[in-house]
Amino acid sequence: MPPIAPLATLSDADVVERVRGGEPALFEILMRRHNQRIYRAVRAVLKDEHEVEDVMQQAYINAFTHLDQFEERAQFSTWLTRIALNEAFRQRRKMRASQSREALSSDVDANRGELMDTIASGQPDPERQAYAQEISRMLEDAVDALPETYRTVFMLRDIEGLSTSETGAGLGLGEEAVKTRLHRARALVRRAVTARIGEASGMAFQFHAPRCDRVVAAVLAKLSLC
């Protein structure tokens, strides 16, 4: 159900107000408008693409069901990014706890067998194969290799293009902490991809149209809006 063209020109605040006022289907506009940012924020925490889409869907559902708590003193995009990051961190904690339990209950041979099965059945990610430039793949590898405290800041600031204050608000950090982590992250990334990072940043971690449609459709179905 594509948004009606004129509605796409409404501000986030206007769309939120209309959703609150009895037009829930307009929430699709907000999802499509912010899918790229939310993907990059969640992807900075979780590296499994399937987990990323699940977390995105849950984040949108959380935002929709708590839309009455949004206060217009903050930007909607910042509020939504924070919800997505909180959900990503929650999912990561859940995954780690599950992995710890499995490790305790499995012997060495079983673990080795599962690892070999995973390696044998793994298939190349078609999304990653679709990236047009080798420099983008190099950048993604370099960002994935960063410690999480640097990766989240780098992803939001340099990949997504948020301001220092927006990044701090999303992660619950002060601006000085954001600047310090960003400086260190850039230094690490530069070693891997050299001076071409600047021209390649916008090409990395793209959330292409089919994936956007898939996430939007899943959220609308769960909210019974389509």
Q: What percent of the chain has pLDDT over 90?
A: 54
Separation of alpha carbons 62 and 34, rounded Å: 15
Mean pLDDT of 148-177: 93
Q: Over the chain, what is the mean pLDDT?
A: 82
Separation of alpha carbons 104 and 67, rounded Å: 41
Q: Give the per-residue pLDDT at 128.
A: 47
Q: Which residues of 39-64 are buried (b: 16+ CB within 10 A; e: fewer)?
A: bbbbbbbbeeeebbbbbbbbbbbebb
Mean pLDDT of 35-48: 93
pLDDT band for position 47 (50/70/90)?
A: confident
Q: Give the per-residue pLDDT at 124.
A: 52
Q: Do domains 1-90+206-226 and 132-205 have the same CATH topology?
A: no
- Residue with the bigger pLDDT between 160 and 5: it is 160
> 195 pLDDT exceeds 50?
no
Q: Give the per-residue pLDDT at 133.
A: 58
Q: Judge whether 76 and 13 are in contact, CB under 8 Å.
A: yes
Q: Give the per-residue pLDDT at 120.
A: 47
Q: According to CATH, what is the number of the domain 132-205?
A: 1.10.10.10
Q: Give the per-residue pLDDT at 129.
A: 52
Q: Give the per-residue pLDDT at 113.
A: 55
pLDDT band for position 9 (50/70/90)?
A: confident
pLDDT band for position 179 (50/70/90)?
A: very high
> 177 pLDDT exceeds 90?
yes
Q: Give the per-residue pLDDT at 207.
A: 82
pLDDT band for position 140 (50/70/90)?
A: confident
Q: How far is CA 149 from CA 9, 61, 100, 180, 192, in A?
A: 36, 26, 22, 11, 18
Mean pLDDT of 208-224: 89
Mean pLDDT of 191-214: 70
Q: Domain locations in the chain?
A: 1-90+206-226, 132-205
Among 149-163, 187-201, 203-217, the minimum mean pLDDT is found in 187-201
CATH class of 1-90+206-226: mainly alpha
